[in-house]
Amino acid sequence: MPTRRRDNQTAPLWIEAGEDKSTPLISVAPAAPIDKIYTYTATLELLEQLRIGQRVSVPFGRKGTPSPAYVVAIEQGTWNSTLKPITEILDPAGNLSNHLLELGKWIARYYCCPLGRTLSAMIPQVVRKQSGFVTQRFISLAATADTIADHRLGAKQQTILQELMKEQAHLQAADLLKRAAASRATLKSLLKRGLIVETISKALPKDLECPYPRNEPDFQLNVSQKEALAHITDVLCSQEFRVILLYGRSGSGKTEVYVRAIRRVLAAGKQAIMLVPEIALTTQLMQRLAERFDHVAVIHSGLTGVQRSLAWERIRNRDIHVVIGTRSAVFAPCPDLGLIVVDEEQEPSYKNLRSPRFHVRDVAIKRAHLLNIPIILGSATPSLETWHNAHHHRAYTCVTLPSRVKSLPMPSVRLIDMRNEPSAALGATISRQLAEALRETLAKKQQAVILLNRRGFASWLFCPRCKMRIQCHRCNACMVLHLAQNRIRCHQCNLSEPIPIHCPDHSCRGKLVHGGGGTEKIEQQLHTCFPDARVLRADSDTMTHARKYRHLVNAFENRELDILIGTQMIAKGLDFPNVSLVGVIGAEPPAALSDFRANERLFQLVTQVAGRAGRADATGLVIVQSMNVDSPALRHAVHHDFDSFAAVELPRRQAMHFPPFTRLTRFILAGPREGDVMEQARCLADRLKQHIAETAQPDCVVLGPHPCVMERAKNMYRYELLLRAASASAMLSVLDSARHDGALRVNVKSFVLDVDPLSLS
Ligand code: ADP
Ligand code: ZN
């Protein structure tokens, strides 16, 4: 029998020899990336303040190094002498409701991420620190009249004690000092003698104003909006988990339906979360939405820590009824959540790019499922996952808004076959038709937007003598010429160098040529062709700050600009009534199979920009230039026909065993020595195969390992492998089993495990 060691620290005092050894045990998840749960005890005093979700400090490892961890369970269990006590509570706030903890556990399991790391991603650090809260100090009496009589006290000290005795309760320190006309020093001396105690708590500051003035548009819902709303209301009344896909092209009035559905939820005394994608214009869109509600909070990446922390607390205490926000708002601590809305559910920015690599839409669906509430997914071009589910999954319903409000026609889309264009071989260029359309647009004093998803002036530099391309010496990527910066740049690692004139090979020294091209080249062509037009380029080289972007939007709205040229950052969310022409340059479907979603993205891009033209009274024209005009993505985008595109694309995905017909997990390993990386990848593949066999999941396969499309980046060699499963549950059982065995641990410099990857490039 082990000898029982007992002291105040390790064992609760109320256990007597021979009694039940039951004691509260606290499970914690380390904040460090360690995929395990550990058990601790706590002193009575600490136990009273402990909450699930809090960050605490625990002695860790053999040396008992103080380490941060998150409380994930407090349960009665059997005491034993190896248990150590929690040292202290690091942040008193950050407690999680049961269902958010459940959600955290699901994320940690599904996306293969340690629970501690997941919880730290769910609750912003500023919320844990209660930034912006007002500190309140309360004083209460700790001694009886008898003990007080034993002390020799000054007059001020006595007054303080008398005031406290009179109140029979605690008093705010400042209040008390005023009443007794005493100073903080007097209070301190009483504290030191143990006659009084001070408790410090944090509270919201008073008089928080709502910065969004109410602004109601004045119109009636049209027939299809009414039908959609009636359907949603039925689901809301049934109080059960359902996913409603609200499917309607841009301008069909989806936003209006969300707003009214949310109002129904508020009327029932519940809260709602509306998620919007993170795009350059997010803040403005959200403010416009916020003006439709009282008691609304807007959560986006531009908030200060204090704003975020205060919003979180007001949501928790039901002061806020509607939360509008980007990614992190999916974790808003609403105690009475009745509805979640995910706008533009297909947007790639909903995928978190750091571990845990969760998809906000899927987390939102899971949250709705745990709470048994409905969720609305809105889109003009749904992701094929959602589209497939909407037609095959019991929990899904598809509600359609068939036409644009005000019966505005969709702009006509014209495809230009660039194989017939003489200058096309030289790279990005404006076709004759696009130039002609631009001329007409400028003559009519209307505006144009041109889109090209590539930055820079030339995409490659080439030595014709030795047939060599100039590559980044750290990555296998071509250096891109940026004339405006007078540099060449690697778009992988951002390395920049002066522009070389001659081949770097000293035995060659051929004169370099360049080709391909991006936004800078088009900008230059526009200046040459239309010297009087006011042209502005918007890409991440010029739009280095959100302020610049807002400035650009204002200038364009005020018609201080004629042509806007940019990357896809300008494709989303813009709503300019005077734009009558949109040009898309280089709309190419993927050359390789590396990215199974490329067709879908191309379709979305063209449809999205087409939605930009002719939003108001000017009827729009969209010109799409491509070397591959026969691709189904383009053919159907021309007719704004998502249904037909999905009907072609889904069987293709099925034939190639890609999602939504399968599930994928992607593993990327990288390190400075290729042999080591390859070896580790091979071993990981073997271990995965072993677990597929052990879990008897015959429909799972391991593909690879093979070098990534970008084989080398930042001086590291990159290898990937894929786990493909017939269903989410099959994939989970293999991953669970491998993870439990430690089989997912690899010894490389960088390791990424991506469940449901958005792309494979
Ligand atoms: P979506 O979200 O589908 O792109 P919106 O809800 O933004 O569409 O609607 C597009 C435009 O039409 C907005 O300016 C909106 O105020 C307006 N609108 C929406 N519904 C109606 C309606 N029933 N009658 C008149 N205008 C409407
Ligand atoms: Zn590089």
**How many angstroms separate the alpha carbon of residue 252 from the centre of ligand 1?**
6
Q: Is the CB of 372 under 6 A from ligand 1?
A: no
Q: Yes or no: say if 100 and 122 are a contact pair by the CB < 8 Å rule.
A: yes
CA of 239 to the centre of ligand 1 (A): 28
Which of ligand 1's atoms lies nearest the C-alpha of 257? 6
* Closest listed ligand to the CA of 289: 1
Please list, residue by residue across 646-676, b when 16 or more beta carbons sit within 10 angstroms of its beta carbon and e when fewer do: beebbeebeeeebbbbbbbbbbbbbbeeeee
Q: Which ligand is nearest to the CA of 473?
A: 2
- Rounded to the nearest angstrom, the distance between the alpha carbon of 404 and the centre of ligand 1 is 8
* pLDDT tens-digit map of 574-596: 667 788 898 999 887 665 556 88
Residue 147 or residue 305, greater confidence: 305
Is 124 touching ligand 1 by the criterion CB < 6 Å?
no
pLDDT tens by residue, 167-183 = 777 888 888 888 888 88
- Closest listed ligand to the CA of 477: 2
Ligand 1 neighbour 226 (Cβ under 6 A): no
d(CA 499, CA 51): 59
CA distances (Å), origin 177, targets 165, 181, 183, 203 = 14, 6, 6, 20
Q: Report pLDDT for 545.
A: 77
Give the separation between CA 29 and CA 85, rounded to whole angstroms: 15
C-alpha span between 698 and 76 (Å, rounded) = 41
Burial of 19 (0-12, 13-18, 19+ CB in 10 A): exposed
For residue 526, what pLDDT band results from cuts at 50, 70 and 90?
Answer: very high
Residue nearest atom 24 in ligand 1 by C-alpha distance: 219
CA 31, CA 54: separation in Å to the nearest integer? 11
683-710, pLDDT tens digit by residue? 999 999 999 999 998 889 999 899 998 8
Kindly give the number of the ligand 1 atom that is closest to the alpha carbon of 575.
14
Predicted confidence (pLDDT) at residue 408 exceeds the cutoff of 50: yes
Q: How far apart are CA 144 and CA 126, in angstroms?
A: 40
pLDDT digits (tens, 9 = 90+) for 323-339: 999 999 999 999 999 99
Measured distance between the N- and C-terminal CA atoms of the chain, rounded to whole angstroms:
59
CA-nearest residue, atom 6 of ligand 1: 253
Indicate if ligand 1 lies below 6 Å from the C-beta of 256.
yes
Ligand 1 pocket residue status of 611, Cβ below 6 Å: no
pLDDT at 568: 77
> What per-residue confidence (pLDDT) applies to 302?
80
219 C-beta closer than 6 A to ligand 1 = yes
- Determine which residue's CA is closest to atom 19 belonging to ligand 1: 253
The verdict on the CB of residue 253 being under 6 Å from ligand 1 is yes
The better pLDDT of the pair 335, 207 is held by 335
Select the highest-mean-pLDDT range: 63-67, 210-214, 403-407, 492-496.
Answer: 63-67
Q: Report the distance separating Cα 699 and Cα 702, nearest Å.
A: 10
Residue 261 Cα, ligand 2 centroid: separation in angstroms? 48
If you search the block for the tokens 């405006």, which residue do you land on?
Answer: 484
Distance CA 556, CA 579 (A): 10
Q: How many A from CA of 482 to the centre of ligand 2? A: 15
- pLDDT higher than threshold 50 for residue 1: no
Shortest CA distance to 202 belongs to which of 94, 123, 93?
93
**Model pLDDT, residue 177:** 84
Which residue has tokens 């040292």? 87
The per-residue pLDDT for range 545-560, each reduced to its tens digit, is 777 887 888 888 889 9
Residue 405 beta carbon below 6 angstroms from any ligand 1 atom: yes
User: What burial class does residue 29 get, using C-beta atoms within 10 Å of its C-beta: 0-12 exposed, 13-18 middle, 19+ buried?
Assistant: buried
Q: Contact, 188 vs 157, CB < 8 A?
A: no
6 against 89, higher pLDDT: 89
Average pLDDT, the chain: 87
Average pLDDT over residues 428-447: 91
- Whether 400 is in the pocket of ligand 1, judged by its Cβ within 6 Å, is no
Which residues have a Cβ under 8 Å from the Cβ of 617 and sit 6 or more positions away? 577
pLDDT in tens, 343-388: 999 999 999 999 999 999 999 999 999 999 999 999 999 999 999 9
Cα gap 664→661, rounded to integer Å: 10
Nearest-ligand number for the alpha carbon of 496: 2
Query: Which residue, judged by its Cα, is nearest atom 10 of ligand 1?
Result: 251
Q: Is 608 in the pocket of ligand 1 (CB under 6 A)?
A: no
Report the distance separating Cα 574 and Cα 549, nearest Å.
11
Q: Which long-range contacts (CB under 8 A, 24 or more apart) does 185-192 make?
A: 186/154, 186/156, 186/157, 186/160, 187/139, 187/160, 189/157, 190/157, 190/160, 190/161
Please indicate whether residue 403, judged by its CB atom, sits closer than 6 Å to ligand 1.
no
Atom number of ligand 1 nearest to Cα 255: 6
**Could you tell me if 241 and 396 are in contact, meaning their C-beta atoms sit under 8 angstroms apart?**
no
Asked if residue 217 has its Cβ within 6 Å of ligand 1, the reply is: yes
Nearest to 107 by CA among 755, 759, 660: 755
Query: What is the CA(553)–ligand 1 centre distance, in A?
Result: 20
Report how far ligand 2's centroid is from the alpha carbon of 557 (Å).
38
> Which is the closest atom of ligand 1 to the Cα of 258?
6
Give 718 Cα–ligand 2 centroid separation in angstroms. 13
Model confidence at 433: pLDDT above 80: yes
Give the whole-angstrom CA distance, residue 412 versus residue 623: 9
> Residue 5: what pLDDT?
43
Q: What confidence score (pLDDT) does residue 425 get?
A: 62
Q: Which of 204-208, 486-490, 734-738 is least confident?
A: 204-208
Q: Which ligand is nearest to the CA of 408?
A: 1
Nearest Cα residue to atom 14 of ligand 1: 251
300 lines ligand 1 (CB under 6 A): no
C-alpha 405 – ligand 1 centre gap (Å): 6
Mean pLDDT across the stretch 411-425?
A: 81
Query: Which pLDDT score is estimated for 208?
Result: 61
Answer whether 665 contacts ligand 1 (Cβ < 6 A): no
Q: What is the pLDDT of residue 7?
A: 44
> Which mutation among 229, 255, 381, 575 tests ligand 1's pocket best, with the greatest number of atoms within 8 A of CB?
255
User: Which among 660, 678, 662 is positioned nearest to 670, based on CA atoms?
Assistant: 678
Closest residue by CA, ligand 1 atom 5: 253
Who wins on pLDDT, 108 or 143?
A: 108
Q: In the numeric block, which tokens belong to residue 458?
A: 């030339």
Residue 17 pLDDT exceeds 70 = no
CB 581 within 8 A of CB 448: yes
Q: Whose CA is nearest to atom 22 of ligand 1?
A: 221
Residue with tokens 């942040």: 91
How much distance in Å is there from the Cα of 76 to the middle of ligand 2?
55
Please count the other Cβ atoms lying within 10 Å of the Cβ belonging to residue 66.
11
Measured in Å, residue 724 CA sits from the centre of ligand 2 at: 31
- The helix (run of H) or strand (run of E) holding residue 657 is none
pLDDT in tens, 748-758: 999 999 999 99
Q: Answer whether residue 4 shows pLDDT above 70.
A: no
Cα 487 to ligand 2 centroid, rounded to whole Å: 14
CA distance 761 to 754: 13
Return the percentage of the chain with pLDDT > 90, whole number.
Answer: 51
Q: From the alpha carbon of 611, which atom of ligand 1 is closest? A: 4
Token readout for 649 is 């694309």
Read off the pLDDT band of 613 (50, 70, 90).
low
SS3 for 671? strand
Going from the Cα of 222 to the center of ligand 1, the distance in angstroms, rounded, reads: 10
Segment 459-501, tens digit of pLDDT: 889 898 888 889 998 888 889 999 888 999 998 888 999 999 9
Helices 155-167 and 184-193: crossing angle in degrees, nearest 10, is 80
Separation between Cα atoms, residue 439 and residue 446, nearest integer Å: 10
What does the DSSP assignment read for 377-439? EEESS--HHHHHHHHH-TTEEEEEE-S-GGGPPPPEEEEEEGGG-GGGGGSS---HHHHHHHH
Find the 495 Cα to ligand 2 centroid distance in Å. Answer: 6
Provide the pLDDT for residue 721.
Answer: 95
Residue 654: what pLDDT?
94
Does the CB atom of residue 374 touch ligand 1 within 6 A? no
pLDDT digits (tens, 9 = 90+) for 215-237: 778 788 999 999 999 999 999 99
Lowest model confidence (mean pLDDT) among 73-77, 104-108, 387-391 = 73-77
Is 408 a pocket residue for ligand 1 (Cβ < 6 Å)? no
Least confident among 106-110, 418-422, 425-429 = 425-429
**Ligand 1 mean position, distance from CA 251 (Å):** 6
Distance, CA of 647 to chain centre: 30
Residue 14, pLDDT > 70, answer no
Choose between 213 and 259: higher pLDDT: 259
pLDDT score of 3 more than 50? no
Q: Which helix (H) or strand (E) holds 120?
A: helix 115-122
Q: Which of 254, 405, 615, 617, when mutated, tests ligand 1's pocket best, judged by the most ligand atoms within 8 Å of its CB? A: 405
What pLDDT shows up at residue 544?
78
When pLDDT is averaged across residues 319-325 and rounded to a whole number, the result is 94
| Ligand 1 mean position, distance from CA 229 (Å) | 14
Q: Looking at per-residue confidence, does 3 or 227 come out higher?
A: 227
Q: What residues have CB less than 8 Å from 60, skipping those under 6 apart?
A: 30, 38, 66, 67, 69
Please indicate whether residue 616, judged by its CB atom, sits closer than 6 Å to ligand 1.
no
* Residue nearest (by alpha carbon) to ligand 1 atom 17: 253
Question: Is the shortest distance between the CB of 225 and ligand 1 below 6 Å?
Answer: yes
Whether the pLDDT of residue 571 is over 90: the answer is no
Q: Does residue 316 have a pLDDT over 70? A: yes
In ligand 1, which atom is closest to the CA atom of 380? 3
Ligand 1 mean position, distance from CA 377 (Å): 17
Q: What are 232-274's pLDDT values in tens digits?
A: 999 999 889 999 999 998 888 999 999 999 999 999 999 999 9
Cα dist. 525→428, 520, 522, 530 in Å?
10, 9, 5, 8
- Answer whether 171's CB lies under 8 Å from 199's CB: no
Do the Cβ atoms of 273 and 329 come closer than 8 Å? Answer: yes
Ligand nearest to the CA of 494: 2
Strands 65-78 and 750-755: unpaired
